Amino acid sequence: MLDAAQKGGYAYPAINITSLTTISGALKAFAEAGSDGIIQVSTGGGSFASGTAVGDEAFGAIVLAEATHLLAEKYDILVALHTDHCHPAKVDSFLKPLLQASRERIAAGKGPLFQSHMFDGSVVELDENLTISKELLAECAELNIILEIEAGCVGGEEDGHDTSGLPAEKLYTSTEDMVEVYESLHSIGRFMFAATFGNVHGAYKPGSVKLKPTILRDGQNAVIEKYGADAEMDLVFHGGSGSDLDDIRETLGYGVVKMNIDTDTQYAFTRPIVTHMCENIEGVLKIDGEVGNKKVYDPRGYLKKGEQGLCDRLKEACDDLLSTGKSIFGTV
């Protein structure tokens, strides 16, 4: 998938899921768009999926991943499973159990549970970040899993990832750091690189976020000039929600093959549910001793609307990233 995106000049939307309903909405979107895609689980998403009585991030991620494996068999597109931001403090409790689950799956004659994981070492100095990244990438490579790493920090707050208090200069990865990341990791295994160029998690009014995609261009060019065209890195665009289309399309020319979209799809899921509640308030609630209307307070009714809202927004992301109609399902 990554090779096809690099060659074709497009990228995959990567959507965070938390439930069977959001998985189904994502798979439906990719299938209707004729696009392959990436479905990912955060630590918070895993905790939620395991239930309030359990609250186990890794266990919930395994539940969601196994469900996606089963549901994806019904669709003629390729889907890669990925885990989002894992900080150093959660490597042992989140990432390691998931790698072990993949190891057990492979021993049973299946593929890995996840095709890629993200280690977010941006909260520590680059030397420490790369030391841990090298160890994790070596383990991932043994299991045919790709590791995504981050140098520089994505701003804002999302699902336990909060860098809202950082100074602005931390939001931009330097060219030197991009070269150092390549030199440290390329000989170990395939990796994706979330280099930061002012991107921020969350939703903001137009003009609030100052993206500088040329940072990706300059860093990528420095690597290619030193090590050749084959050294082009697979770059990741975090904080894709709310971004201008011009900025999105510009990054595709600099090697971005994955864009995370979470805030916009969360809103797209919730908005039709809110409309349903407002339009059917007397049926949803048992007001003044009445019995309500089971047809409108049955969760299946409004969750289907949320699934469709998510689906519609994700198809828009496929269009933005030029992945629509480019599935390689059946060719690999």
Q: Which residues are known catalytic residues?
A: 84
| Ramachandran angles phi, psi of 260, nearest 5° | -80, 130
Q: Give the Å distances, CA to CA, from 241 to 67, 176, 316.
A: 26, 28, 11
- CA-to-CA distance for 73 and 2, rounded, in angstroms? 21
Residue 216: closest CA among 159, 168, 173, 153: 173
| Ramachandran angles phi, psi of 112, nearest 5° | -65, 155
- Return the DSSP state at 229: G
Place of tokens 């074709």: 8
Q: Beta-carbon neighbour count of residue 278 at 10 Å?
A: 9
DSSP assignments along 156-213, one per residue: SEETTEE-TTS-GGGGB--HHHHHHHHHHHTTT--EEEEE-BS-BSS---TTSS---T
- CA-to-CA distance for 126 and 324, rounded, in angstroms? 36
